[in-house]
Amino acid sequence: QIAYLNGLYIPLAEAQISPQDRGFLFGDGVYEVIPVYNKTLFYFDEHLQRLKNSLAATGIANPLSDAQWTDILNTLIEKHSWQDQFIYLQVTRGVQMQRDHMPADCLSPTIYAYTNPLKSLTDDVLAKGVKVVTLEDIRWLRCDIKAITLLPNVMLKLAAKQQGADDAILISRDGYVAEGTASNAFIVKDGKLLTPPTSAKILPGITRLVIESIAKQHHIELIEKELTRDELEQADEIWLTSSTKEALPVTSINGKPVGDGKPGALWQTLRQHYQQHKQDIIEQ
Ligand code: PMP
C-alpha cells in the first residue's frame, strides 16, 4: 500500500510524521473520505469543495490547487489494483517545535493521503440491518467542519457498543435528531423520506447529496426538517448514510424493532437506484 505524504509517494508502513505535528498534539486538522468506484473518484468536486470549506473554517491554508489534489489522488488510485477504493486524506496545520495553542505564523500544512480497498456491505448486514441506540450528542457546535478531532465520536461509538448496539444516533442539545457517529440519518414515514436540514449540528454528507439527487430523479419525496426522538423511534425505516456504507438499514432502535424489524422497502429501492447511479457516473 502506497501513501502520499508531503510530496512523496512512499510505502504506507514507512510513512512517518513528527510528534510535534499539530494534528497529533491538538487534533488541529481536517480530513476527507472519498469513495472510488471502478478507479473513478465519486462526487469528487463535492468532496473537494467540502475539504476547502473545512480548511477555510479552521484557517488552515489550502496547500494545493484543485489540479494538484486531483493528480495526487488519481496517482494513488493507479498505484493500487483494487477497482473500488476509498481514499483517506488529511491536512493538519503543520509541525511546530514549541507546543502552543496559538499557531506559529509560517507553518506548512502536513498533507497525507492513502487508499484502501472498498468492500461492499456483507450479506448479513444487507439481510439483517444494524442496531442503534440514541445517545446525547456530546460533540462540539461546529459539526459541519470535518475535523480530525474525533474523541467524542469514538466515545459515543464505544458507549453504543457497551449497550449492545452497532452504532448511535445522536440527539442534539435542542432535542432534535442530529446524525450517526460517522453518518447522516434518514427516516421513512408513510412513504416519504425525511432528513434533518444541514446546519452546524451535522456534517453535510456527500452521500446525503447523492441520495437527494437520486430522490429527485425518481420522484421520491424528500423533506428536510428537524426530527424529534419520537419521530425517529416511530419511523417505518431508518437509514444511516456515508461514503463507505452508502445507505445502511437500521432495523432496531433502543431495543425495539424499526417497522417490521427488517430492511425496508424504500431502502431496497433506493439501493438499486444507488447502484445504477454509480454505474451511470463511472460510464460518463
Ligand atoms: N456525519 C459524520 C459525523 C461523518 O463522520 C460522516 C462520514 N464521514 C458523515 C456524516 C457522512 O458523510 P459522507 O456521506 O460525506 O461520507
ipTM for the assembly: 0.99
CA 62 – CA 75 distance, rounded (Å): 20
**pLDDT digit string (tens) for the chain, length 284 residues:** 999 999 999 999 999 999 999 999 999 999 999 999 999 999 999 999 999 999 999 999 999 999 999 999 999 999 999 999 999 999 999 999 999 999 999 999 999 999 999 999 999 999 999 999 999 999 999 999 999 999 999 999 999 999 999 999 999 999 999 999 999 999 999 999 999 999 999 999 999 999 999 999 999 999 999 999 999 999 999 999 999 999 999 999 999 999 999 999 999 999 999 999 999 998 88
| Nearest alpha-carbon partner for 183 in 243, 227, 253 | 243
Known catalytic membership, residue 146? yes
- Name every protein residue with a CB atom under 6 angstroms from any ligand 1 atom: 33, 179, 182-184, 203, 205-208, 241-243
The one catalytic residue among 79, 131, 146, 225: 146
What is 61-95 written as a DSSP string? ---S-HHHHHHHHHHHHHTS--SSEEEEEEEE--B
Instruction: Please name each of the domains of the chain with its CATH number.
Output: 2-117 (3.30.470.10), 123-283 (3.20.10.10)
How many angstroms separate the alpha carbon of residue 99 from the centre of ligand 1? 30
pTM across the whole model: 0.97
Pocket test for ligand 1, best of 179, 242, 246 (most atoms within 8 A of CB): 242
Pocket test for ligand 1, best of 86, 214, 243 (most atoms within 8 A of CB): 243
Q: How is residue 23 annotated by DSSP? A: H
